[in-house]
A and B are shown apart, each in its own frame.
Chain A
């Protein structure tokens, strides 16, 4: 009988270990990798778009380099906002 008990506890431990390395865990890793890739480009893209808009407006109003500088920072703000929003969305999806 005692032998049987040890077997059942050993089985339990083995099952727990197997659960730990299961597919769901792998999937979580993959999706967090995707999240990391998603957030980084979000920031860069907004800064890029902001600077381009500033550059175009500079050419319009003949005010080099001021609008480019201002819109660079506005773009950075938009980027932070985008990153924040994406992070919030991901958190909502994880729950």
Chain B
């Protein structure tokens, strides 16, 4: 075990080196944890929906609650038009949630603490939403960049600002998730290191901090998955209803 707080974010290869052209596509610990979280989601929902009883079992209740939670979130923020996109948002929410939560287990790896992973997710959302917007409204989707009631003189400046604020969406979406996860895990590790270095006499204070921070981290893990999903809903609502 290393005392370096950043050591936990190391990506290393598992198994043989595989390369496709110049791209290294070897199986890493990050890929392993992504697969684990995907399998965990599938198995939870498989077991939860297998036996449908009227008085639900605990795991059935969990699946039903998560279904209604996401479904209500979509209808509240994006309206009934967004219903066809429920599977995508549900899987996105579940994937981020499970990656965050699995990262809270000791000795595990937090996939979402790497900006390339969160940026890939955000880029999928961004490109998808842009395509949906153009498919639904055609060139009229560009109206999103022209707010109503702006004087013609200011229009070029406003359009540039609007375009930048549109392009900032995937960046803010990915940076938020990545920064929260990385900062939290680094903080936990730093306080954990204090416990070791202060020993049995002074180590109790940082230990209690670590316990409190673990609770906070679990809250943030859930919250960030929720924020990721709800912002996807809001962007989708922009693309579907063309409102600002």
Tell me whether A41 and B179 are in contact in the complex, defined as CB-CB below 8 angstroms, given that A34-B227, A48-B171 are known contacts.
yes
Kindly list chain A residues whose C-beta atoms are within 8 Å of the C-beta of B62: none
Tell me whether A81 and B176 are in contact in the complex, defined as CB-CB below 8 angstroms, given that A34-B226, A49-B171 are known contacts.
no
Check: B59 CB closer than 8 A to any chain A CB: no
CB distance from A92 to the nearest CB of B (A): 11
Query: What secondary structure prevails in chain A residues at the interface with B?
Result: helix
How many contacting A-B pairs (Cβ < 8 A)?
A: 67
Residues 49-80 of chain A, each 1 if its beta carbon lies under 8 Å from chain B, else 0: 11001000000000000000001001101110
Are B175 and A49 interface neighbours, CB within 8 A? no
Query: What secondary structure prevails in chain B residues at the interface with A?
Result: helix
CB distance from A90 to the nearest CB of B (A): 11
Q: List the interface of chain A (C-beta within 8 A of B).
A: 30, 33-34, 37-38, 41-42, 44-46, 48-50, 53, 71, 74-75, 77-79, 81-82, 85, 89
**Nearest 4 Cβ contacts at the A-B interface:** A45-B172, A45-B171, A78-B165, A46-B168
Q: List the interface of chain B (C-beta within 8 A of A).
A: 157, 160-162, 164-165, 167-169, 171-172, 175-176, 179-180, 219-220, 223-224, 226-227, 231, 234, 244
5 residue pairs A–B, Cβ–Cβ below 8 Å: A33-B220, A34-B226, A45-B169, A74-B157, A78-B161
